[in-house]
Structure 1
Amino acid sequence: MARRLQLADFRSYAALDCMIEAPLVALTGENGAGKTNILEALSLFSAGRGLRGAEFADCARRQGAGGFAVSIELSADGVATQLGHGLEPASGEQSAARRFRIDRAPASSARAFADHLRPLWLTPAMDGLFAGPAGDRRRFLDRLVLSVDAEHGVRAAKLERALRNRNRLLAEETADARWLDAAEREIAALGVAVAAARVETVMRLRALIAGERDDSSPFPFAEVAIEGELERMLGEEPALRVEDRYRARLAAARRRDAAAGRTLEGPQASDLRVRHGPKDEAARACSTGEQKALLTGLVLAHARLVRATTGRAPLLLLDEVAAHFDPLRRAALFAELSRIGGQVWMTGADPEAFAALGGNAQLLRVFPGRVERAL
């Protein structure tokens, strides 16, 4: 559990030193006060660009020197650990660079934090996930996988680079077939690995949801599946056979992909399909309120999967999660968060939204550039 959070030149905070005393932390304050900035700082302890998906340079305080630093002190089983990440500003010929530390010793990347902290989040920007573009659901799916498989992000990034390389080769009028063969071998191996990791995570999630199914819950259970050719083939044949077939299909599709300017087949074209379990209806066809409750239930199930898979509950970051729920759902949410364990950080403009937490939470009041204990 986090015991102390420190920020320096991060977003709206020139300096922040906040002691944490409870597993449930509620940040309240006016819109624009800086509540989500705190959640974003915590989300950057995971691989990627955090809950906003922003460029790292944009996280630096505008009046600062161009960099930032975030430090968190954890306590688990009586052992204290200090984690830190930040952006070192550009200097001379040196460009800005990310920095990572564990107990003040350098770490290679944010992946090193996974042994200590696995942040998950739910934000208002995700409310349109089910009805939005497939790319948003793929990114959501890959975050699901990344939280239980810390190497998934590396494989996905390598696949993106390999696909860009093939697209560049296809754009050349005199591309050497040997270079294309090599590129497609790499794409096939990485593509099958990415697809297999997705399939495994979704199967685990489906099993967990089925085992805990409660039709009366205010957060309806989700039925999840992946729609993708590689993922379908992996359900029918061994991975090595699928890799061979995918490589052959890439070679046969060179002219088509060259005309399209991109590789049309592969895990980069897959989609996550979600259905409202109790209603047996596609999530995208449900009402806005139903989609919000369904997404919340899915994130909570994912948190339980992380706990079951890694032995440690994740750090849950819930931005404005209680604002649109009625008192019944709000109470059910707080009860579920307590059962999951770990630490939860929530934000909301109205302090009354967290009244049901009672003495089980730490309430903090956020003002521009500072945080105070709520009275």
Structure 2
Amino acid sequence: MLALSELTLSHFRSHRRAVLEVDARPVAIYGANGAGKTNLIEAVSMLSPGRGLRRAGMDDLIRRPESLGWKITAVLQSLNQTHEISTFAEPTQSRQVRIDEKTSPQTALGRIARILWLVPSMDRLWIEGAEGRRRFLDRATLSFTPSHAEAVLSYEKAMRERNRLLKDMVRDPHWYVALERQMAEAGAVIHMNRTNTINELNTAQANATTAFPTADLSLTNPDGGCETPGDPAALVDAFAQNRPRDLAAGRALHGPHRSDLGATYAEKGVLAKDCSTGEQKALLISLILANGRALTRDFGAPPILLLGEGAAHLDAGRRAALYDEICTLGAQAWMTGTGPELFGELGHRAQFIEVGDDTGASTVTQRDAP
């Protein structure tokens, strides 16, 4: 089992203080727009490495007008262990993480928990720029391979240094050798991890009985200027050969930071970007569920799912199918919606939380199933 049993927020977004005690069932969160529903699932997303589901700066998470530091504490049931987690930040400071009362790097969160999310800002994933799709793929990759974050950080650090040399028009190759070697070593790992993840997701979709359309996934533009992007030596040669063009541009034009996630609606043979809004949302849900099924086998427990307005663009039949698949998976899914009727098909299979507003502060009240 992987689930939160306790969640406490202090001066986080609109919540001055919120305390929740929950079990492993799905959590249905409802309330008016602006009440603070998304803030709750954003808090859960902060129990994973990175900047959370809205990629906010740490100061943006502080409740106004108090402008005090924010803090999230949680009790996590992970496989056969119980972990106490806290993450917090003071104004203008970076966030800190403590696991079982020990200061820990953010990457340690990925080793004890797997958290996936789908929020409305991702609904345009297939029709906007490649950066969002890379982020989506890397989040899925992190769920299988937590060390992927270290490879990405190593690559980006070396690339920033190399870009600085390119902008300064440094032509002496000796300045580039070590940086390009670091980029190549990390880049080969990134490519391998992403490729493995795509294979996992394709397999999980192919082997599943689901009410949602499946997507054939691929890694597009993966070469980094070479034919074997998984080979560090080949990437080193490619970075060196591309250096003149990179000098002219003032930045690296090739490499895994330029890769893209390709997706095709399998049954129709239509690119995801050309599908209807409803089909695009259904494809995203299908990928999240496939990620969950694969992780259940790989990690030993289904991930925690965060679905912001997950019922949006879904008809009643497909909404019920989504809830059935979440319950079959056995995932603790934190879901938001404007009213309890959106979760009616869940009944007593879920626990219900109403979020309200009391003179500018969000309130949370646990309710019975409608």
Amino acid corresponding to residue 216 of structure 2 in structure 1 = E
In structure 2, what is the Cα distance between the partners aligned to 1:356 and 1:211? 26
Query: What SS class does the counterpart of residue 97 from structure 1 fall into?
Result: coil
The residue aligned with 2:109 is: 113
Shift of 1:200: 1.2
Shift of 1:358: 0.9
In structure 2, what is the Cα distance between the partners aligned to 1:269 and 1:81? 37
The residue aligned with 2:317 is: 328
Match of 2:187 among 188, 191, 195: 191
Residue pair 1:218, 1:293 contacting (<8 A) in 2 also = no
Q: Structure 1 residues 175-184 or 39-48, which shifts more?
A: 175-184
Residue pair 1:130, 1:283 contacting (<8 A) in 2 also = yes
In structure 2, what is the Cα distance between the partners aligned to 1:221 and 1:140? 17
Q: Does 1:221 align with 2:220?
A: no
Change (3 A) 1:229 1:117: closer
Match of 1:142 among 138, 158, 165: 138
Match of 1:280 among 231, 253, 269: 269
Query: What SS class does the counterpart of residue 205 from structure 1 fall into?
Result: helix
The residue aligned with 2:242 is: 253
Query: What SS class does the counterpart of residue 176 from structure 2 fall into?
Result: helix
The residue aligned with 1:343 is: 332
Query: What SS class does the counterpart of residue 273 from structure 1 fall into?
Result: strand
In structure 2, what is the Cα distance between the partners aligned to 1:103 and 1:82? 5
In structure 2, what is the Cα distance between the partners aligned to 1:338 and 1:232? 45
Match of 1:230 among 220, 223, 228: 223
The residue aligned with 1:303 is: 292
Q: Give 4+ residue runs of structure 1 displaced > 4 Å after superposition.
A: 76-79, 231-234
Residue pair 1:22, 1:360 contacting (<8 A) in 2 also = no
Q: CA offsets per residue over residues 225-272 of structure 1, 9 Å max, x none?
A: 1012438967xx594xx3222211211222211111211111011110
In structure 2, what is the Cα distance between the partners aligned to 1:173 and 1:233? 24
Residue pair 1:195, 1:230 contacting (<8 A) in 2 also = no
Change (3 A) 1:54 1:238: closer
Q: CA offsets per residue over residues 131-188 of structure 1, 9 Å max, x none?
A: 1111110111111101111111111112111111111112234443211111111111
Query: What SS class does the counterpart of residue 356 from structure 1 fall into?
Result: coil
The residue aligned with 1:93 is: none
Amino acid corresponding to residue 117 of structure 1 in structure 2 = A
Amino acid corresponding to residue 128 of structure 1 in structure 2 = R
Residue pair 2:215, 2:265 contacting (<8 A) in 1 also = yes
Change (3 A) 1:158 1:238: closer
Residue pair 1:13, 1:61 contacting (<8 A) in 2 also = yes
Query: What SS class does the counterpart of residue 145 from structure 1 fall into?
Result: helix
In structure 1, what is the Cα distance between the partners aligned to 2:349 and 2:272? 33
In structure 1, what is the Cα distance between the partners aligned to 2:122 and 2:229? 35
Amino acid corresponding to residue 220 of structure 1 in structure 2 = P
The residue aligned with 1:24 is: 26
The residue aligned with 1:88 is: 90
The residue aligned with 1:211 is: 207
In structure 2, what is the Cα distance between the partners aligned to 1:317 and 1:224? 22
Amino acid corresponding to residue 249 of structure 2 in structure 1 = A
In structure 2, what is the Cα distance between the partners aligned to 1:76 and 1:187? 34
Q: Does 1:100 align with 2:93?
A: no
Q: Does 1:317 align with 2:306?
A: yes
Residue pair 2:225, 2:254 contacting (<8 A) in 1 also = no
Shift of 1:79: 4.3
Residue pair 1:146, 1:153 contacting (<8 A) in 2 also = yes
Amino acid corresponding to residue 258 of structure 1 in structure 2 = L
Q: TM-score, normalised by structure 2?
A: 0.93
Amino acid corresponding to residue 47 of structure 2 in structure 1 = F
In structure 2, what is the Cα distance between the partners aligned to 1:78 and 1:155? 29
Residue pair 2:191, 2:222 contacting (<8 A) in 1 also = no
Aligned length: 362
Shift of 1:31: 0.2
Change (3 A) 1:278 1:174: closer
Q: Structure 1 residues 113-122 or 291-300, which shifts more?
A: 113-122
In structure 2, what is the Cα distance between the partners aligned to 1:302 and 1:359? 26
Change (3 A) 1:22 1:143: closer
Q: CA offsets per residue over residues 26-77 of structure 1, 9 Å max, x none?
A: 0000000000000001101111111101111100112234411001112356
The residue aligned with 1:370 is: 363
In structure 2, what is the Cα distance between the partners aligned to 1:21 and 1:67? 28
Match of 2:251 among 235, 239, 262: 262
Q: Which sections of structure 1, spanning at least 5 residues, go unmatched?
A: 91-95
Change (3 A) 1:175 1:334: same
In structure 1, what is the Cα distance between the partners aligned to 2:264 and 2:343? 30
Q: Does 1:355 align with 2:352?
A: no
Change (3 A) 1:65 1:221: same
In structure 1, what is the Cα distance between the partners aligned to 2:283 and 2:79? 34
In structure 2, what is the Cα distance between the partners aligned to 1:77 and 1:256? 50
In structure 2, what is the Cα distance between the partners aligned to 1:5 and 1:341? 20
Query: What SS class does the counterpart of residue 354 from structure 2 fall into?
Result: strand
